[in-house]
Structures are given as structure tokens and as C-alpha cells.
Amino acid sequence: MIKITQEMLSAAQNEVAKRNNYLHPHFNLGYLNEDTRQVIGFLGEFSCQAYLGIDWRANIRDNYLRPDDYDFMHNGGRVDVKTETLPSMQLVNAVTTRQIHDDKAYGRRLIVAGQYPLLAHYDMVMFGCFLRPQNSNQWNPVGQYWYPIGMIESQHILQNYQPTEYKPFGGYYPQACANIRTSELRDIV
């Protein structure tokens, strides 16, 4: 796990401010305001790079005039990082150890339909998470942790998954998404 520093938070907030006028989200969450959701995304990118021993500062973009093709390079491959929040430490532990049943709530890692075509630009998707903030308007992630979940090749997702609104455990997602089995992920290396 990676502990969030004030430097990381300040950099993430700066990136959100630079991005706001140019890029628009593919989805919204009722329990997180948009700025917090975007900060979490940047913190996930920074944390994943730190976890891999990469200087995250070196991969901060100059501008957001257009969407990027990937978040960073690792071992010659293009990587995209997906970071989510989980509502309890029990779930964080079950998901990060990949001991959660794929067809139960929180057993899948999601890529919304709007982002699905972008998988063709990546070689690898790496997933991580935070413990969900109790109040996103007052959340201070400094001293909190980003937890690695696992990674999977983008081509595997494209060949084996299509966006769907149907949840494998019943019901429907708010919007269509590819729902990747957590058991198919492997350690982030």
C-alpha cells in the first residue's frame, strides 16, 4: 500500500484544476462530488507509480487539451490506472487479496462503456482502491492509503468482456460497463 502525502494531494488538486475546462467525466457517483472523484483518480495514478518505483512527478501532463492515450509507461507497456473506493476495510481486504467471490457485490472491477474503447490504447490496466471517505466534502486523504488490487492485459478485457448493464449478482449498474472478474487479476509488478 502507498501512503498519501501532502505533495501528492496538492499535485492531484492542481491537475484537477488544469483538467476541469477540457475533459469531462464518463460517469458520476452520487456519494462523491466530482472534484473528489477526480482527485482520487490522480492519487491512484501517482500511488500506482510510486508502488512500482516510478517517479510519479515525471508523468504529470502539461495540459489536458485532449484525452491521454495512457497514464504512464512500465516495462515497455502503456498502463492505465483505475482507482475506486470501497465502503469498508473488510471489503478492501477481501478485494485486495482477491478473496472476494467474483459474482458477489464488489467482486468485479468496472470499466464504464464510455472508457471501454480506450482500452485499445493501453497494454495493461492496473486497479487500486481507497477506503471510501465518510464525507467527500471534508475528506483529507493525507495519511490515508491507496491499496493495489491487481492488473490485467487490455486485450484480455477486449476479447472477453463487453459493457453490460446487468450485474452478475442480480440487478443493474447505473450505466453499462465491462465488469472484470477480480479473480482474473494478477499482482501488480
Arithmetic mean of pLDDT over the chain: 89
Q: Count CA atoms within 13 Å of residue 70 on its CB side.
A: 18
pLDDT for residue 118:
92
Residue 78 C-alpha cell reads as 502503456
Looking at residue 64, what is its pLDDT? Answer: 65
Q: What is the pLDDT of residue 79?
A: 96
What does the domain layout of the chain look like in residue ranges? 2-184
The pLDDT tens digits for 31-61 are: 566 677 788 889 999 999 999 999 999 988 7
Rg (Cα) of the chain, in Å, rounded? 16
CB distance 120 to 156 below 8 Å: no
Per the model's pLDDT, the better-predicted residue between 149 and 132 turns out to be: 149
Question: Is the pLDDT at 23 greater than 60, yes or no?
Answer: no
pLDDT at 20: 67
pLDDT at position 144 over 70: yes
